[in-house]
Chain A
Amino acid sequence: MTTAHALTATDLTVGYGDTTIISDLDLDLVAGAITVIVGPNACGKSTLLRSMSRLLPPRSGQVVLDGRSIHGMPAKELARTLGLLPQSPIAPEGITVADLVGRGRHPHQGMFTRWSRADDVAVAEALIATDTADLADRAVDELSGGQRQRVWIAMALAQDTDILLLDEPTTFLDVSHQVEVLDLLTDLNRRRGTTIVIVLHDLNLAVRYADHLVAMRDGEVYASGSPETILTPELIESVFGISAAVITDPTSGKPLMLPIGRHHMVDRGGPDAADGPAGHPASD
């Protein structure tokens, strides 16, 4: 287990140009847990992640790591504690997997220090943990989407930070790779005690993998807590603007959201007759 670091946002206001995306937001990350941030498009969840990792300076308020504002910390020192995997990182053309993963060691190296044994070990462990050791000599361009995402996560692991922020790491992946990536992150959390923060689009996967769920709407934290306590039809209605049923997932025991549209209502007389306005939620 690693030492717990406290990352908090207080009175955070962030925006681009004239538009304010996040206003007066407060958030305490639970150390050692997996926090998943959900919300509709443009609710500010990616912006929140970006400002918590210093990609965006706050208009007001601050993000504090262990009592120090992250915007005042030396960049490399921050990068040894706080890692970030953005939504669309760029792999230089022709770079090999091992070289790419090795670049995660950047914050651990000074201007004149050579590649060390510790760097080798960190890269090797990251490759093994993500099951990409066999790909080490392959060019990243040649890999499938799922493999590539595992390689990016390997790079983030090689950075060896106690906190890891990921912006939609499952986008563009099919369902089996989505589950694989989230399982991998859960392994990392359970084995190393890494505090993980993920922005996710898929609410059901979010609920399944989150120890702590943060639901955002219009640049504010609408609700946060364990998924079992906060995921209710009312929450889904007010955050996502859709009526939904919530049942218990038979495999995970976690809540499962079933969105209710205008079609396909069993109690309206079968699939053919189901094209009226939103009816009653199916019973849960």
Chain B
Amino acid sequence: MTRAATENARGVVVGRRPARVRLLWFGIAVAVVALLAFASVVIGSRDVSIADVVAAIGGSVDNTSEAAVAKRLPRTVLALVVGLALGLAGAVMQGVTRNPLADPGILGVNMGASLAIVVGIAWFGLSTATGYLWVATVGAGVAAVFVYAIGSLGRGGATPLKLALAGAATSAALASFVTAISLPRGDISGTVRSWLIGGVGGAGWTSIGQMAPFLAVGVLVSLLSARRLNSLALGDELATGLGERVAVTRAVAALGAVLLCGAATAIAGPIAFVGLVVPHACRLLVGVDHRWLLPFSGVVGAGLVVASDVLGRIVARPGEVDVGIITAILGAPVFIAIVRRRKVSSL
């Protein structure tokens, strides 16, 4: 082979990675999320000025406007981190299961976390955020393993449709357990209901701080799995041929996703569809390479949840609609669109 030919082909190869386009999209996404975050601080039942925002960030709560901002700041941060966790978790789950319908909500992982928390509230006096976090993580993990096991039964292994069905059925069952436990308990049903709908309104810095270590580990584990997920995307056999330990890779990446879902659910309640919609949108923009897709999904997820939260405050002024309801309204049509596409069986 001539050197010239290699050089020539390298020219082709360099063109293979539209890194600039991806960087551009990444920059745009970060900018949009920053704008949304700003909007989230400014918009609410009370209008505030930029001076109030600056003062509040500086720690001042001298007047009502500044106090409103001081309350909206943790709420905005929580929406950002919850969105990041769910978007990233969704992308990881879709990679791990090689399934375009994978999502922490659809696969029953969030409901697993929910049931665990409700059981904890009802019978074990669970009340601290740290307690919520541990219990939710365990619940999410158990649900993930259970749904994957059910979906893998029979011929063909864990196909997208079987997994989605197993997840939906499990979700429904877990949700009715949640109702069955909380309904007769007048003492806890209020707590449970407000937590279940999924909201970021009650956020405080303390719970965000307690959630942080779970998120940090989850984000790290997920991002480090990116290249392995790329190999997994070629099918288990080829991934093995490329030197990947398929089972270990799956387990580790899934652990990252479970940590993210558990933490997000513990603090904000089950928020559906973010993990489903976001990776699909991101794939259109940056392609199928998980090294780009994962961080991008995190950023866009953060943006989606903040935007939903802002929207929820706008549509029902002066009250508000919980963020979990808005994401469901936005996400359900996308879910239907994905299911209706022909190549739903593969990713």
The reply to whether B346 and A90 form a contact with Cβ atoms under 8 Å apart is yes
Inter-chain contact B241/A53, CB cutoff 8 Å: yes
**Interface contact B9-A127, CB-CB below 8 Å:** yes
**Chain A's nearest CB lies how many Å from the CB of B251?**
15
What number of residue pairs across chains A and B have CB atoms under 8 A from each other? 121
With contact pairs A90-B235, A104-B242, A159-B242 given, residues A125 and B16 touching in the complex (Cβ less than 8 Å): no
**Would B16 and A85 count as touching, CB distance under 8 A?**
no
* Other-chain contact of B5, A75, A95, A99, A128 (Cβ < 8 Å): A128
Q: Is the CB of A89 within 8 A of B234?
A: yes
B98 interface contact, C-beta 8 A: yes
A134 to B12, CA, bound (A): 8
Tell me which residues across on chain B come within 8 A of A129, comparing CB atoms: 1
Assuming the contacts A124-B10, A133-B9, A136-B15, asked whether A93 and B241 have C-beta atoms less than 8 A apart, the reply is no
> With A111-B227, A125-B9, A127-B9 given, is the CB distance from A92 to B234 under 8 Å?
yes
Stretch at the interface among B61-69, B124-132, B281-289: B281-289
Which parts of A84-115 form the interface with B (CB within 8 Å)? Answer: 84-86, 88-96, 98-100, 102-104, 106-107, 109, 111
A68 contacts chain B at the CB level, 8 A cutoff? no
Rounded to whole angstroms, the CA-CA distance of A13 and B216 in the bound complex is 46
Is B244 close to A, CB under 8 A?
A: yes
Among residues 220 to 271 in chain B, which have CB atoms less than 8 Å away from a CB atom of chain A? 224, 227, 230-231, 233-235, 237-238, 240-245
Contacts of A84 in B (CB 8 A): 237-238, 240-241
A177 interfacial contact with B, CB 8 Å: no
Question: Would you call B343 an interface residue if the criterion is a C-beta within 8 Å of the partner chain's C-beta atoms?
Answer: yes
* Docked-complex contact B245 and A75, CB < 8 angstroms: yes
B315 touches A (CB below 8 Å): no
Mark out the residues of chain B between 126 and 169 whose CB falls within 8 Å of any chain A CB in the assembled complex: none
Contact indicator B243/A55 (Cβ below 8 Å): no
Q: How large is the interface on B (under 10, 10 to 19, 20 to 34, 35 or more residues)?
A: 35 or more
Alpha-carbon distance A134/B233, docked complex (angstroms): 24
Across the interface, name the chain A residue whose C-beta is closest to B12.
A136
Residues of A within 8 A of B235 (CB): 86, 88-90
B336 to chain A, nearest CB (A): 19
Which of A54, A94, A95, A96 is in CB contact (< 8 Å) with B240? A54
Least distance between B297 CB and chain A CB atoms (Å) = 15
A80 at the interface (CB under 8 A from B): yes
Closest residue to B5 on the A side, CB-wise? A128
- For B14, give the chain A residue with the smallest CB separation: A120
On chain A, which size bracket covers the interface?
Answer: 35 or more
Which residues from chain A contact B14 at a C-beta distance below 8 Å? Answer: 120
Task: Flag if A55 contacts B240 (CB, 8 Å).
Answer: yes
Whether B227 and A107, one on each chain, are in contact in the complex, defined by CB atoms closer than 8 angstroms, is no
Nearest CB on A from B180, distance (A): 39
- In the assembled complex, A76 has its CB within 8 A of some CB on chain B: yes
* In contact, A93 and B12 (Cβ under 8 angstroms): no
**B337 contacts the other chain (CB 8 A):** no
Select B242's contact among A106, A111, A125, A134, beta carbons within 8 Å.
Answer: A106
CB atoms of A93 and B231 under 8 A apart:
no
Quick check: is B191 within 8 A (CB to CB) of the other chain? no
State in angstroms the CA–CA spacing of A127 and B5 once bound together.
11
Residues of chain A with a CB closer than 8 A to B224's CB: 111
> Within the complex, what minimum Cβ distance (angstroms) separates A119 from chain B?
9
> Can you list the 7 inter-chain pairs with the closest CB atoms, starting with the nearest?
A79-B243, A84-B241, A98-B16, A124-B9, A76-B243, A86-B237, A107-B243
Contacts A/B (CB < 8 Å), 30 sampled? A55-B237, A75-B244, A79-B243, A82-B241, A85-B238, A86-B238, A90-B98, A90-B238, A91-B234, A92-B347, A93-B346, A93-B347, A94-B288, A96-B16, A98-B12, A98-B16, A99-B16, A103-B230, A106-B230, A106-B243, A111-B224, A111-B227, A120-B10, A121-B10, A125-B9, A127-B12, A129-B1, A134-B12, A136-B9, A137-B16
Chain B interface residues (CB < 8 Å from chain A): 1, 5-6, 8-10, 12-17, 98, 224, 227, 230-231, 233-235, 237-238, 240-245, 283, 287-289, 343, 346-347
